[in-house]
Every structure is written in C-alpha cells, then in structure tokens.
Chain A
Amino acid sequence: MKETPLTEQVARSFLLGEVDPAQRQVIESLFLTDPEARETILIVEDILLEEYLEGTLASSEAQKFLERYASNPKERTRLRITQSIREYAIENATLISRPISVLEKLRLVLPGWSVKQRIGLPVLASIVIVLIIFGVWFMLRTNQRVREDNQQASIERQLAELNSPSSLSASPPQMFSTTLPPISVRSVQSSSAIILQSSARLVELRLLWAQREEYPAYHAELSRVEGTNPFLLPPLHLEKGQGSRLVRLRIPADLLPAGLYRIRLRGIARDNAPSPAEEYDFRVTRQ
C-alpha cells in the first residue's frame, strides 16, 4: 500500500475534499495502517484548523474546511473550544523558547526552498543591493558629469560671444581692465593681483605677447590653479598699438571667484601648428 510517502500537499487536498474517490480510499486506509501517514494527516488537519482560526485560509478553502469541520453542533463546539485555547494562550502565555539562528528562520519562512537556495538568497539579495547602489551612484555621477559638461559648454559659448571682434570693440560699463605680462618676461615673483569689486560685471585681460612671431589667431585656456577643467576660449587676435602687442580677453566677473588663475596662450600658424605657450598668472581677490 505504502509506495510513496503521503505528502502534506496531498493530505491537504484530501482533507479539503479535493481528491477523487479512489485516492480518498487509499489515503483513508493509510490513515488506519500507516503511522507516518496518519501523523501527516493529523498535522495538516491541525495546520488547516489554525489557518482557519487565524483567518489566513483562502475563502474557497475556508468554505471547504467548514463543510468538513463545522457541519454539526458538536464540531462547532470543538472548533470554539480550540479557538478559546488559542485566545487564552495569546493573552496568558509565558513563552518557552530559545532563540534560533537567522539561517534557521529563513528555512522556516521559506519551507519549500532547498538549503542551497536558502543560503543563496541572502547572497543574491546582497548582490542585487550592491548592483542597485552602484547603478544609482553611476547614474548620479553621469548626471553630474553631463550637468558639468553642459555648464562648461554654456560658459564657453558665453566667452565666445564676449570675445568676438564686434563685442571687443564695444566698451561695456562696469568692466575691470588689467594688463598681464607673461611669466617668461615677468621680473617679479608674485602673480598679478586683480581686486574685483562686487559691482564688476566684466574683466578684460590684456595679455602681452612677448614672442617675436605673430600668428593669424591665438588660442587660450583659462584654468584655476586649484584644479578645475580649463575653459577653452575662442580664437583671439593680436592687437598692436603704442609699442606693444597684446591679445585682449574678456571674462564675465562671476566666472572668477577668489583664487589663483593661469592662462596658457598659443599662437596658431596658418598650417594650424601651435607656437610655444605663454603663461599668465593672476590672483583674484574679491571685495
């Protein structure tokens, strides 16, 4: 008779009246003859009873359960007695227990999972959490880089407009002008100082060109010495007058917070070959 052990799932179906008559007879005879099957059926019956009393039984199962276990007054009394015991226990019990490990708790709440799966679950969860954290970090970093690139492009566009030949010919108000010699010819050690009033809107730097060669265009890079990305400035042109040769560069004052700056200026030949760079340092102080 006993070919395969009676599983709790089959026992549950049997107790809810979900098996065919032939299967019912096999299980009922096992209930009489096989102590293990008997124990399984009684345990599953008890589980069903608890689920019913806790209200966790699905409504269709609850209906089947009632048909089997509350069909007469005696059974209903028994059901109420069981309920009373549970209610009394919940109110009055002194707990008898000893804590169990997290792994065992996992085994209990995931009864259908194999040991490998249960051990794998926390590992998998950790990997997923790490991936999510990395994903969020990567997204924020990418967004920040895109934001910075956009900001830089916007500033470079603004610099291009300010330094176009037509703009350079105008003399806007609230502009601070200063002439900077290149480091290569400067005799003093300290950087040129620019003291900016809060009212200043624009700074015009007159970069003296000390090299003998002259070029059709000049490229400049402005960077803060403390280390931010350099701004690529638009092509500039050499201006001559009163015995000096210089390249004018206009920068919005709000792009120059207090600090030390460096400009690298190169002449660009017709064949696009760059000249050696001239460097200009200046320190901005805010008032």
Chain B
Amino acid sequence: MPKTPPRLPERFDELLSWLDEDPAQAATVYLEIRNSLVKIFGWNHCTDREGLTDEVFDRVARKLPSLKESFKGDPKLYFYGVANNLVKESRKAATLRVPLDGIDCPSDSSLAEEQDTREMRSVCLERCLKALSPEKRDLILSYYAKEGREKIIHRAEMARSLGVSIRTLRVRMLRLRGGLEDCIERCLGEKR
C-alpha cells in the first residue's frame, strides 16, 4: 500500500476516502499522486523529494476537515497546489534545493563506474531478470536490444507482433523497466 502514510495516521483513512469512495481505488489514486509528486519535486531540483511529498500529504491531511466542506473539483489539483507552494518555499529557503550552478552533474567518464559497482549491478540485474516471467524478460530485453534507426523499426515490428500501438508498447516497457529498476536498486542496497 502507501509507501509513507501521512504523519497524521488518524486522518489517513479519511484522506483516502476523500480521494475515492472505493478503498482499493483510493489506494491506487494515493500512490499515483505520491509518485507524481516525487517526480514533480525532482523536476524542480528538490533534493528530498520523498520528504517533501510526505509534507504535502501532511498539510492536506491537516486541512482535510475544512477541505471536504469547501473544496470543489479534482483533489489532485489541491495536492498540486500544495506541492507548488512547497517548491516555492524551498526555493526561497534555498536549503531544500540544489542550486543549478552547484549541481553535481556527472561527466560521461563519471558514468563509467568502478568495476566492483558495475559487477554488483550486473549480478543484481541478472537476479532481477530471473525474477521476471520468461515472457516479460524476453520482452524487455528485445525492446532494448537495438539502437538508433534500427531501434525504431524493431520496436514497430515488436508492437505489430504484440498487436498493440508503439505508444502502448512504450508505456508497457516503461512500467516493466521501472519495476526492474526498483528491484535492482533494492538488490544493490542489500549488497552495500
């Protein structure tokens, strides 16, 4: 379920019910908002994205009683409004963001890591690929097997084989890769 529920647990169920009457659907919407906010904080160069996202949910939960009465429209927009305020605050404070000038951007050479980390990543990748079903494993490996113009044609051929549009295939592969990356990240965390 939720990664980090709001720090006001008594309001969490209330918040979910505000998002949707159906609890299962509410949980899905909650995760969707949460993941989106993490992304939005990332695009705005905020370093503690998870922490800021928690803060958004806390603030909304605090205002929930009055919100339920007064706010009309898509609750997601309210969450965004709060997040946007937090972005502005963090910019003003200049402590929750990394200034553009000071960003530690990796050069191409810094992307080539030390051999041990590379090996760890390779071990974790193979482990996580094995955890996938053979169909999904073949699918994601085939999807990323080509580069440049060949890639475009190959993916169109894949989409045709699967009977879906290229856009649908890309979204499907994005989700699949996202899950795989999460798995590898966890695996790397265990090994460190």
Q: Residues of A with Cβ closer than 8 Å to B?
A: 1, 15, 17, 25, 28-29, 31-33, 38-39, 42-43, 46, 54, 56, 63, 66-68, 70-72, 75-86, 88-90, 92-100, 104-105, 108-109
Chain A residues in 8 Å Cβ range of B36: 31-32, 38
What are 17 contact pairs spanning A and B, CB under 8 A?
Answer: A25-B84, A33-B77, A43-B174, A46-B174, A71-B98, A72-B104, A77-B185, A79-B111, A81-B185, A85-B180, A85-B181, A93-B144, A95-B142, A95-B145, A96-B139, A97-B142, A97-B154
User: Is there an interface contact between B121 and A108, defined as CB atoms closer than 8 Å?
Assistant: no
Chain B residues in 8 Å Cβ range of A39: 167, 171
Report the minimum CB–CB distance from B25 to chain A (whole Å).
14
Chain A interface, DSSP helix/strand/loop, else mixed: helix
Chain B, residues 72-83, CB within 8 Å of chain A (1/0): the string is 001011011000
Chain A residues in 8 Å Cβ range of B170: 43, 46
Cα-based distance from A66 to B152 in the complex (angstroms): 24
Chain A residues in 8 Å Cβ range of B93: none
3 nearest interchain CB pairs?
A93-B145, A97-B157, A89-B144
**B11 beta carbon closer than 8 Å to chain A:** no
Report the minimum CB–CB distance from A199 to chain B (whole Å).
69
Supply 5 further A-B pairs (C-beta < 8 A) apart from A42-B171, A88-B125, A97-B142: A1-B77, A81-B184, A84-B122, A89-B144, A97-B157
Chain A residues in 8 Å Cβ range of B153: 100, 105, 108-109
Report the minimum CB–CB distance from B188 to chain A (whole Å).
7
User: Is there an interface contact between B106 and A90, defined as CB atoms closer than 8 Å?
Assistant: no
User: Is there an interface contact between B185 and A85, defined as CB atoms closer than 8 Å?
Assistant: no
Q: What is the interface size of chain B, counting residues whose CB is below 8 A from a CB of the partner? A: 60
Chain B, residues 167-185, CB within 8 Å of chain A (1/0): the string is 1001100100100110011
Residue among A38, A97, A98, A99 with the highest chain B CB neighbour number at 10 A: A97
User: Is there an interface contact between B113 and A97, defined as CB atoms closer than 8 Å?
Assistant: no
**B115 beta carbon closer than 8 Å to chain A:** no
Chain A residues in 8 Å Cβ range of B158: 96-97
User: Is there an interface contact between B157 and A71, defined as CB atoms closer than 8 Å?
Assistant: no
User: Is there an interface contact between A90 and B148, defined as CB atoms closer than 8 Å?
Assistant: no
**B60 beta carbon closer than 8 Å to chain A:** no
User: Is there an interface contact between A28 and B43, defined as CB atoms closer than 8 Å?
Assistant: yes
User: Is there an interface contact between A72 and B47, defined as CB atoms closer than 8 Å?
Assistant: yes
Contact among B45, B146, B181 with A71 in the assembled complex (CB-CB below 8 Å): B45
A32 touching B152 in the complex, CB below 8 Å, given contacts A66-B105, A80-B111: no
Cα-based distance from A113 to B131 in the complex (angstroms): 42
User: Is there an interface contact between A89 and B157, defined as CB atoms closer than 8 Å?
Assistant: no
A67 touching B103 in the complex, CB below 8 Å, given contacts A31-B36, A80-B113: yes
